[in-house]
Amino acid sequence: MGHGPPFLFGAEKSNEVVTISNIEQASAVRERLIELIEPVVTACGHELVEVEYRGSGDRSLLRVYIDRPGGTDLEAIARLSREISDVLDVHDPLPDHYVLECSSPGVDRPLRRPADFQRFIGGRTRIRRRSGSGSERVLEGVLEAADEHGIDLMVGGTAPVRLRYDEIESAQHKADIPGFSKGRE
């Protein structure tokens, strides 16, 4: 797990869809996108939560998730979308045409960086472990602690489960909203 948002990358060459699996290539493109997008986002008082690039050819989608303490609003998302688009048009960091979509991360916010986990200590958290990282692949509990190496998750009232960041495939803060249970069973 790196220090920046995760990145999913796909590209199309002629009629064949090629997923860039070379970690160095995908990492370089991801870092370039973050390098271009993050200053725009932070200048507007937001944080860059996640960057995704999916699809191929004219069906490609670049999705940028942004947030700020207390949440963001539609006006800020629209303004940031225009500003990010302007920067990407100048620097043209992607191989294909794409649709840019800017969004908040939603109620069940993804947790990626140590600071994300630290921010939500005491909250309900759902963890999906990487394959081979333990007997239970999906864990849900209360986030007890987070440091630069990993987290402690209280699952079922027993002793906290210690997870290193490299064991975590994905993690989400599970917001408690009274009367809202869609998708939470």
Q: What is the pLDDT of residues 114-161, one digit of tens each?
A: 998 999 999 999 999 987 766 778 999 999 999 999 999 999 877 899
Segment 48-85, tens digit of pLDDT:
998 888 766 677 888 999 999 888 999 999 999 999 99
- Tell me what pLDDT residue 178 has: 63
Q: How far is CA 125 from CA 40, 88, 183, in A?
A: 29, 34, 14
CA distances from 95 to 4, 12, 25, 155 (A): 21, 9, 12, 44
What does the domain layout of the chain look like in residue ranges?
11-103, 114-173
CATH of 114-173, one of 3.90.1170.50, 2.60.40.420, 3.40.1360.10, 2.30.30.100: 2.30.30.100
pLDDT, tens digit (0-9, with 9 covering 90-100), for 163-174: 999 999 889 998
Q: What confidence tier does 47 reach under pLDDT thresholds 50, 70, 90?
A: very high
Select the CATH number that applies to the domain covering 11-103 from these four: 3.30.300.70, 1.10.10.10, 3.60.21.10, 3.30.420.40. Answer: 3.30.300.70
